Every structure is written in structure tokens, then in C-alpha cells.
Structure 1
């Protein structure tokens, strides 16, 4: 073979090797496309980059109250085959009344095995359509799966009740659900205007301050501080495995959200500042209800938070 022929053959060999290397790189890139979700803006179909990250999920699981996070806004009575049923379409006004309901599973049978979530097997909420009259109750269940929630005095109007639970068995085992139904309290209903957004409110002599700029659909820290007589409160007692329980309802459609605490409970000396993981799905005004306990007494503070 002449020198020129050997040179030509060598060039062809190098070209082939380069093409093979380029093809290998292309195939590697295609095979690793699933990892592109870790890049900003590439996590299609997920709520947020943090929620799709295994390390973030594990970190949340280490936070008090973060091992259970219900999804959705709670405005349906069915999800994944589970259904909330009740024969109580109306309840009397001006006096205590029991609301009875049942949760049925995908097999159509009443669910009777529920896991503990913040020390309770069922959390029941009732709120009027104008976001007044908030009640948070832990109902009792009979052997046949019928729950009974003893409500306090109700004012006339349209109400929505929410049932928050986690099945301990069956297809939905370990998954958190929030289902709801509406009921009516007959009488002359007068709508109460929603108070304007504010950074603080007072209840039972305590001042509750909320700080944090929350954006719709984005996880954001929220800080709640409790004071009394101008001094920070440091004797908050554990309530439902946390120093404060925070629930939110959206103005207009009464969508539900539970803001999860991240402050670790150690003893009866919680406060004055508490941290929450806030992820409110919709912009607009939300009515926040903060429940905390001191000296064996439960206090419920309410304020309006605007979400951009």
C-alpha cells in the first residue's frame, strides 16, 4: 500500500471512530432524559421541583406533621374509589346537632380501619360558605363504619363539611384523603363579609402574627408568632402532636388546605415562633384558622391571608 493510501485509510478509521463516539453520546443523552426533571422548568406534571426530588421528600418526612400530606382541594365527595356519604342534607339552627356520615371504599363497603393522623383517625371540619362558623371536630365511629360529629350551634346558610382521613388497609392504605359534602341550615341567612387581609389578629387576649409571602402553587415557609400583653408566649402546649394546628379555606369556593407544621414538639414550652410549610394552590384570599393550646384551653384565631 502506498503512503497516500495508508493516509486515506487512517483518515477513514478516525472518522468512523468519531461517528461512533457521537452516536454513543446521543444514545446516552436519550437514555438519561428522565433525569432532566431535576432541571428548573423541566419537571412537567409535578407540582414543584422540591416535591419531585427524593431528597426533598425525605426531608419533609422528617418534619413533624409532614409524613401525611393530603392532595387536592377537598371539594369532591369521591376520590380514587373512596366516597363520603351522608343522609344529613339539613341540620337545625341555633343548637347542637350531630352530623352522621360514612366513608366507603372502592368495593362499596364502609371503611372501618383508619390510620392515626396527628393522633386522630378522623378530622372533621365544618365551615359556612362565607368562611364563618369554623368547627374542627374529632368524631366517633360505630362498628359499622358510621361516624358521628357533634357540632356546636349552627347559623342559617350553606355549609360544607370536610372529612380528612387515611385508610389503614385496602387500595388506599397510607394515602391521605380529604372529601367533602354540603348541607343546609334553614333560616334567614345573612352573609358576613370576609375581613380584609391582615398580618395579625387577637383571640382570648393573645396576639397572633403571621409572616410570609405565599404564592399560589408554590411551597413557601410561613411563620406564626404568639404574644400576650406585649410579651412573647413560650408556654404553648402540644395539640394534635404539634404546637399549633393551621387550616385554610379559599374565599368563593371554600377549597380546603392544611398547612403543615415543621416546628418540632419537645415539651409544654412551645413558642413564641412556629414554622409552617404552606402550599396554597389558588390565588386570592384564604381564611386561616390557627388553633393552639395554653393551660389546657384551646384557642382558635382567624385571619385573612392574600395569596398572589
Structure 2
């Protein structure tokens, strides 16, 4: 039979486990939230209104900048905003907690007043979903960027006499301020993330501290949190010292048996000497129960406490089985009690707001993303952890984030099909082999000519050594750009989305194709595809695509392709910057809806992939962003 651990060793293990748990919880980073964020709106996010609205009120935790930019987009993709003004502050429905970096630590403050920007609605051309986008800069320099939506279910309203849809872009000074800060930061109460680099906002219970209260990263006032932890740690240390300072058991010379009489330090001075093994077992069970009563979240304490009680006598150091159980249970209770005190006032939300779900294994070294890559309903505009900036194009470099795209070949003959092979090499000079599933694939390979022709969307397969391969045919001579769009999974489980690009060459005489003029309609095989919406610099704008069969009225039944009803790739003319575009997972008012943030003025080529009757088609557009 396996020998049971000694009581002292078991107690030491329990104590060490408790301290390690406390250290881990104390070290947990608080959620971080951007400053000046959207707290509520009228209409509310996701609300359905039946009566015509003449304005949308957006309540921020501070006044937006004087040159802030707002748009309202109708279901058909046209803008219906008519300018904006400041409104009168009013109490928020729920206080909002935002975080500031103070001496290297996030310090939260809670706000109870909303400062509105009132955006005029010129008219409501149709029933359906309306999107309100905003861009501003907070007083601390953070970019405030995001989108909220509401649905109108009433009758269309008339266009005001003399009114024309606005086409203005944001103030260049505002865009420059956002770019200087280098990251998107807004997330309103809508729950639709606009940038993970910007931490989420935490609504707090009505009993929360007033605005301006500074507390610890856990979300409660600092004195409550640290008092709670002080109680826990003090109780643990006191218990440990009390055990260690009890008089030692008298012992004789080496090899001599210990006295069987009463042990020093026992209250009452006596203890039955003939305790049976069965009694010891019952005591062990009592100890385990005591540990469990302290909280089931520390299961390892069960075994430690139980083992320390099974010795047929009192534990070393003068603790009886009952006292040992009480001490172990008390340590657990103190730890959990301190944690509970430290979390008072948070409502349990500070640690969960905007937190990504843990990745789940799908086999083969890949995991399904839990950071929004699968785009649940209502996801809205967003970027991903690792995206440097939603306002910046990616794929212009062969290396980023510590990873390098390393192809086996950089050229191939025109018209020939070759096995295009490459690796994604990390800073350790080893090929990465763990990737996250994004849109049903672990890696998307995009190929486009330098004149923005010859678009291909491929899906390579990976060998166990991290070498990817895919057949590649390039019919025309000229230069090409190859983009690897993927999310690598580190050994610690963190996920880093990246787009790496590398040049590829097909030798021979080459005349660059002229970029077609901008047009809202494209033909893809037997289908006509309309594009609606206005690409906007630095602002997350909705873009709608409607597919119909040529010569046949009404929409065409689309099928899901790679987990969505459409996929959009946008590439900038010149540097061939690759722009992240994200779809809504469901059709919106009969259209495929995307969220696009144009990084700069210039011309872009957009490629829409969609599937009908098992066949994938691609519609191509030129976008002019003035």
C-alpha cells in the first residue's frame, strides 16, 4: 500500500498551493478600456423603432472632438446623415468604467454622465438596418472609433427639398491625430468590438462608485480590494506561523521511540492513545470535507488535507486532526473570502467584458479562434489581436510580428502550373506548425498582379514540418504579390493574426492592364453584383453587395462559402497594401454586409468571392477614395 504523506509535508503543500493560487489571481491583468467611449445611444444599439426618427443621439463618456466625424448609412448603402451638434449631458443608464495607465498600471474610473453628439437623420428611405459610424479623438489621445446599428420598421420618409447625400471625408487633421496614436480604441456599449488593441468598456452596477473614483485593476475601490487580500494573506500567514511556533515534540536520542503519552501543546493535555485506523480514516474524510467547504475551486486541497490527517495520531507540531482540518479549511476560506472582498462592486463584469473565448482544439495542430474570427451574429466592425491598426494596410512586408514568409521559389514560367511551397518561420528560425482556423481554413493564400489583375484565392495544405504547398498557375507575364493571411498559435495558446506578403515574378513581355474605372456594379459569370456604400478614410463604413442573376429580377440564393455568404479582399493600388475586411455572418436586408476601413486616399481593387449552386464566383470593383 502506498504510504501516506506526513502531516507536516501535506500542510506545507497545502499552504504552498494556496499562496501560489493567491499570487496567480493577484497577478491577473485587469481589463483595459479606452477613454471617451460610447456608453449608450438613442435609439439603443440593436433596437427596432417603428416611428420615424429625426436624429440619433450618441452618448460618450466625454465630449467628442469639435471635428469629430459621423455618418448614418441606410439599408441601401446611401448616407442619410445631415450633420451633428453637441447635446445636453444626461445621466447614463448604467455607469461605465474606463481605464487609464497610471505609473505602469491600469487604474479604473467610473462615469455616470453621458455627453451626447446629436446626428441629424435627413430621411429614412426604407425599412431595414441603419448603421451609425463615428470617429473622434479623446482628451488622452486615444482614437474613438466604432459603429452602432438600429432597425427601422416604419414607412419611408420623404427626401427634404434641396437635400443631397453627403460625400465628405473626415477632417485630415482628425485622421492624422488618429494615425499618430497608432491604434483604434473605441468600443461602445454595443458590444461590437472595434479594435482589441483598445480594451473593452465595463458597465458597472448602479451601486458603483461615483465618477472619478480610482480603484484597482479588479474594478472595486482600491482600499476594499487590498483590505480583502490583506485579510486573506494575514490569515494564511498567521495560521502558518501559529503552526510553526507550537512547541516541538520532545524526542529522545536517535532511534528511540516517541513517548506515547499526551503531547505538549494539546489543549486538555490528553488524547486517547488507542485510536483505530478506522477512526483515522473517518478523520481523513472530515478533513477532505472541511477543505471542500472552503470552496470547490481549490480541489487540490482535498487530498493534501486528507492525507495530513491519516497518521494514526496527532500531526507533528502539536496539531490534532480536527485542528489540522480546520486550519486547512480556514486557509481556503480566508483566501476565497479575501478574493470575494476584493471583487465587491465589480458585478463580475470587469474580468469578462470583451474577453475572448478560449481556443478549442480541432485536431491537426489547429484551433478554432475564440477572438471573434468566426464572427458571431452582430459582430460588427472589428480588428483582431495582432492587427497593428485597422486603419493601416497590411501585407506590404515579408516579415511581421516575429514571423517571416519564406517561399521556395520567387518566379515561375507563364502558363505553367507549379507546386508553390513556402514556410512561415518564427524568430527561433523554425517553421510554425500551429495555426488557428479562420473562415474554415488555417491559411488563406491570395495572389494578385501588381496591376491588380489576375486575382486568386487559394488554400494550401501544410505538411507536418510546416511546409505549405498549393498548385499555382499564372497565365500572364509580370509581377505578382502573394499574401499569406493566417493566425499563428503560440505555444502558450495566444493567437497572432498576420498578413505577410512576398513578390513573385513571371518572366516575359508584360504590358500592365489599365485599372477599370470605379463602378457600383460588376458582372461575375451569369450574375450581376451591385456594391453599395461609401468607403471612408479612418472610419468603419458598411458596404453591401447584392447578387442577382443576369436578366432575372430579385436576389439569388447564396450559399455559405468558408463559413460566410461572401468574402471580400481589398488591395490598394501602388504599394499593394492588403486591407482587412470582415463580413457579417448573416445576410442583412437581402445583402452581404461588410465593414471596411479605408486606410488612405487612393484607388483600391475589391474582390468579392461568393458561392451559388456549389460554384464560387468573383466580382471585381475599383474603389476611388478621394
TM-score after normalising by structure 1: 0.80
Determine whether 1:291 maps to 2:606. Answer: no
Matching residue of 1:49: 145
Determine whether 1:109 maps to 2:430. Answer: yes
CA gap 1:189/1:45 in 2 versus in 1, 3 angstroms: farther
Report the Cα distance in structure 2 between the residues aligned to 1:65 and 1:135, rounded to whole angstroms: 26
Report the Cα distance in structure 2 between the residues aligned to 1:117 and 1:57, rounded to whole angstroms: 24
Report the Cα distance in structure 2 between the residues aligned to 1:293 and 1:189, rounded to whole angstroms: 32
Moved more, 53-62 or 175-184: 53-62
Contact 2:540 2:595 in 1 (8 A): yes
How far the C-alpha of 1:154 sits from its partner, in A, is 3.1
How far the C-alpha of 1:95 sits from its partner, in A, is 2.1
Matching residue of 1:192: 513
1:1-308 map, 5 Å = 35-36=35-36, 39=62, 40=64, 41-43=136-138, 48-50=144-146, 51-55=184-188, 58-60=191-193, 61=372, 62=376, 63=378, 69=384, 70-71=387-388, 72-170=393-491, 173-228=494-549, 229-264=551-586, 272-308=590-626
Structure (1/2) with the larger strand percentage:
1
SS at match of 2:192: helix
CA gap 1:66/1:82 in 2 versus in 1, 3 angstroms: farther
Contact 2:35 2:142 in 1 (8 A): no
SS at match of 2:514: coil
Moved more, 177-186 or 256-265: 256-265
Report the Cα distance in structure 2 between the residues aligned to 1:56 and 1:130, rounded to whole angstroms: 42
Report the Cα distance in structure 2 between the residues aligned to 1:209 and 1:275, rounded to whole angstroms: 12
TM-score after normalising by structure 2: 0.41
* Higher RCO structure (Cα 8 Å, ≥6 apart): 1
How far the C-alpha of 1:57 sits from its partner, in A, is 8.3
How far the C-alpha of 1:230 sits from its partner, in A, is 3.7
Report the Cα distance in structure 2 between the residues aligned to 1:193 and 1:55, rounded to whole angstroms: 42
Structure 1 gap segments, 5+ residues each: 1-33
Cα distance per residue 1:142-178 (max 9 Å; x no partner) = 1111111211333110111000111122478322100
Contact 2:449 2:455 in 1 (8 A): yes
Report the Cα distance in structure 2 between the residues aligned to 1:272 and 1:52, rounded to whole angstroms: 31
How far the C-alpha of 1:66 sits from its partner, in A, is 6.5
Q: How many residues end up aligned between the 2 structures?
A: 271
Structure 2 gap segments, 5+ residues each: 1-33, 38-60, 65-135, 147-183, 194-371
Report the Cα distance in structure 1 between the residues aligned to 2:464 and 2:381, rounded to whole angstroms: 30
**Which protein shows a greater Rg?**
2
Contact 2:192 2:379 in 1 (8 A): no
Contact 1:168 1:174 in 2 (8 A): yes
Moved more, 80-89 or 228-237: 228-237
Matching residue of 2:275: none
CA gap 1:304/1:106 in 2 versus in 1, 3 angstroms: same
How far the C-alpha of 1:42 sits from its partner, in A, is 3.1
SS at match of 2:436: coil
